[in-house]
Amino acid sequence: MTTTTNNKEEALILREQDVVPLRNRVKEYGVKIGMSILNQTKLITATSELVRNLLKYGGGGKVIIESVSNGRDNGVRVTFIDNGPGIADIDLAMKDGYSTGKSLGLGLPGTKRLVNEFDIKSELGNGTTVTITKWKNG
């Protein structure tokens, strides 16, 4: 299935103060396509999780917000790109309760449950890229 991008923007995330404006931008994208409050909340919570990871483990990076469409449904896709140390074992990182920091260890697996599409690519020493998509009716 092909998806088309309608609208796109990039944001640099370098400090904790950048989190709230980014979350608001993502929310605006959701509101624009008429996403329900529940899906909006899921999307911004997922964004919030990943952007915190980006800052904490990746040392900051770039976030791309896109408004996408697959012909039947509209959605919002958010891509998080960092140039941090990368993740050694993705399968382990995706496990509930596993954390190299002192957090609850729910960020990555929890985020996957909150969105419709979840893709993670990581290479040791070359950073991590996470892409999530939330469909309006997903």
What are the residues binding another protein (CB under 8 A)?
A: 16, 19-20, 23, 37-38, 40-42, 44-45, 48-49, 52, 96, 103-104, 106-107, 109-111, 113-114
Name the minimum Å distance from CB 54 to another protein.
13
Name the minimum Å distance from CB 9 to another protein.
20
8 Å CB contact between 56 and 66: no
In the bound state with another protein, the residue whose beta carbon lies nearer, of 3 and 45, is 45
In the bound state with another protein, the residue whose beta carbon lies nearer, of 70 and 99, is 99
Residue located via tokens 């990368």 = 86
In the bound state with another protein, the residue whose beta carbon lies nearer, of 71 and 97, is 97
Name the minimum Å distance from CB 102 to another protein.
9
Q: Which of 42, 40, 16, 54 is nearest to 130 (CA)?
A: 54
Q: How far is CA 63 from CA 51, 60, 73, 82, 104, in A?
A: 8, 10, 23, 9, 24
Name the minimum Å distance from CB 4 to another protein.
28
In the bound state with another protein, the residue whose beta carbon lies nearer, of 1 and 37, is 37
Q: How far is CA 87 from CA 102, 108, 125, 130, in A?
A: 16, 12, 9, 11
Alpha helical stretches, state H, 1-138: 19-32, 37-56, 90-93, 107-114
Name the minimum Å distance from CB 29 to another protein.
15
In the bound state with another protein, the residue whose beta carbon lies nearer, of 70 and 103, is 103
In angstroms, the CA 41 to CA 108 distance is 17
